[in-house]
Structure 1
Amino acid sequence: MTLNIQTHENDALLLPIQALPGSRRNGIIGEHDGHLKVAVTQVPEKGKANKAIIKLLSKELQLSKSQLMIVSGETNSRKKLRITGISSEQLLERLKKFLNR
């Protein structure tokens, strides 16, 4: 697993995401080029896919939606997600089950 997780101000983490909007189903589907691949069924219009990504990751990573925020790439498939209230070790531990399939 080679996700490019960075530390950010105030003990937050930056997680690079490769969004796959308009997919057949929602889910974390792996890692590519240091980015977490996240598939959502929502289309990329008016922020619908971004909201679906936050909802999905909040559920799968057992975090509240307020702990997650897209800080760059809102209109791009490559995004940076700011995550608070969790260490990089805890985040990697929660992601293991999705990345070791």
Structure 2
Amino acid sequence: MEKKSSPHSIKKRYLQVKVFPRSKNPGVFPQENGTFIVRVTAPPEKGQANREVLARLAAYLNLPLQRIQIHRGHTSRYKVIVIDNS
């Protein structure tokens, strides 16, 4: 008999994010296509914007910051964020 996976058995989830650094209106804005726009006040220097992106997404998704990280796009405004559900 085949075992079906439940949503709780998925170990990692990936989110596509477009980042707008130095924004005057910070926040997390989900899009209809399943991606997110994240506006941050920090400049894109020395990882400041990346840290704020992770903090804002973690707060928006009600997750501990330790479970969320940048998978791809550390130096790009287009990022793939991975959420560890284990």
Q: Distance in 2 between matches of 1:78 and 1:32?
A: 17
Structure 1: which 5+ residue stretches go unaligned? 1-9, 87-101
Aligned alpha-carbon RMSD (Å): 1.8
Residue 60 of structure 1 deviates from its aligned partner by 1.4
Where relative contact order (Cα < 8 A, 6+ residues apart) is larger, the structure is 2
Matches for 1:19-98 after TM superposition, within 5 Å: 19-31=19-31, 34-85=34-85
The structure with the larger Rg is 2
Q: Which deviates more, 33-42 or 61-70?
A: 33-42
Overall identity of the aligned pairs, in %: 29
Distance 2:58 2:33 in 1: 23
How many pairs align?
77
Q: Structure 2: where are the runs of 5+ without partners?
A: 1-9
TM-score with structure 1 length normalisation?
A: 0.69
Distance in 2, matches of 1:15 and 1:33, equals 11
Aligned residue identity for 1:75: T
Pair 1:16 & 2:21 matched: no
Cα distance in 2 between the residues matched to 1:32 and 1:45: 30
